[in-house]
Structures are given as C-alpha cells and as structure tokens.
Amino acid sequence: MRFAGNVIWFVLGGWYIALFWLVGAAVFAISIVGIPLTIAALQMARLSAWPFGKDVVHIRELDAQGVTPLTAVTGTVGFIANVVWACTFGALLFVSYLVAGVLCCLTIIGIPLGLQAFKLAGISFWPVGRRVVDSELAHVARQENARSKLARYRGAVA
C-alpha cells in the first residue's frame, strides 16, 4: 500500500512540491550559515516526494538521553534558522501543501493523499531539527520517550 500511495503521490505532483524544497536547499547551501536549513530541506524534499511510510520526528525524540550533538541545532541557532525558513520558503510551501490537500480531499479516493499533504503542511514552517524516519521507528521512539517521561513522573510523585 505504501508503494502504491508513493507512486500515486509522486505522479500527481509530489515531485513538483519537492522541487520547492530543493530550490530552498540550493539557495541556503550557498552560505555556511544556511547549512542547517540545507540539511533540513533535503530531508523534507525526500519526504515530500515519497511521504507514505515515513514520519518526521524531532531529533530529541530519537535520542532518549538527550546527549546527541545534533540537538545543538534546535537551540537558538535552530530557532533563528526556522524563522528565516518560515519567512522565505516556509510560507510558500505551507500554502502549496494546503492547496494540494484540499484538492486531494475533494474525492474519497484522494483523502489519504490529502492527509499526507496536511502532514507536510504542518512541518513546512519549522523543518530544522527534524529528521525523516520510517513510521515504525518514529512510533518506537515516541513510545520510549513516553515511558521515560512516565518513569520520571512516577519517581517524582512517589
């Protein structure tokens, strides 16, 4: 089902919206300061072309201990990079995904495609600090983080 969904998505215009991400990556790759944006845009371009079976997680969700060096990108630098992205390419991508989602949801068959478009619209403003992973990995990472938070909560209450 994932393969069929990805092929249909790609043929019906997923490749076209992925080009916006690639243009954004190329623009920000020119400067050293734009490297976090370039990395995020390349990850999201891949997701935009083939969204079924993939999910986006924050890099803190992938590291239960919170010691990965990549988490530094989510601090002030990540915030500034995301603001720059939202003001340049983020708004255009957001509107593109919303239009694609509404058009896909006009038919019953297109609803799964529309839901993917809305998922992508949600991340188009704030891509820095997120990673594209398989849906199963995202689910396991979120479960482990929920378990550790529950354990900390129970330890604080007891």
Range of the domain at 91: 2-157
Q: Would you say residue 129 has pLDDT above 90?
A: no
For the whole model, what pTM was predicted?
A: 0.76
Amino acid type, 104? C
Closest CA to 121 of 107, 138, 106, 101: 101
Average pLDDT over residues 118-126: 88
Higher pLDDT, 40 or 157: 40
Confidence of residue 149 (pLDDT cuts 50, 70, 90): confident
CA dist 77 and 106 (Å) reads 40
Q: Quick one: pLDDT at residue 71?
A: 45
DSSP class per residue in 36-97: HHHHHHHHHHHHHHS-TTEEEEEHHHH-TTS--GGGGGGSHHHHHHHHHHIIIIIHHHHHHH
For the chain, what percent of residues have pLDDT higher than 90?
11
Count of domains in the chain? 1
Q: What is the mean pLDDT of the chain?
A: 84
Sign of the torsion formed by the C-alpha atoms of 54, 27, 118 and 74: positive
Coil, helix or strand at residue 131: strand
CA dist 154 and 140 (Å) reads 21
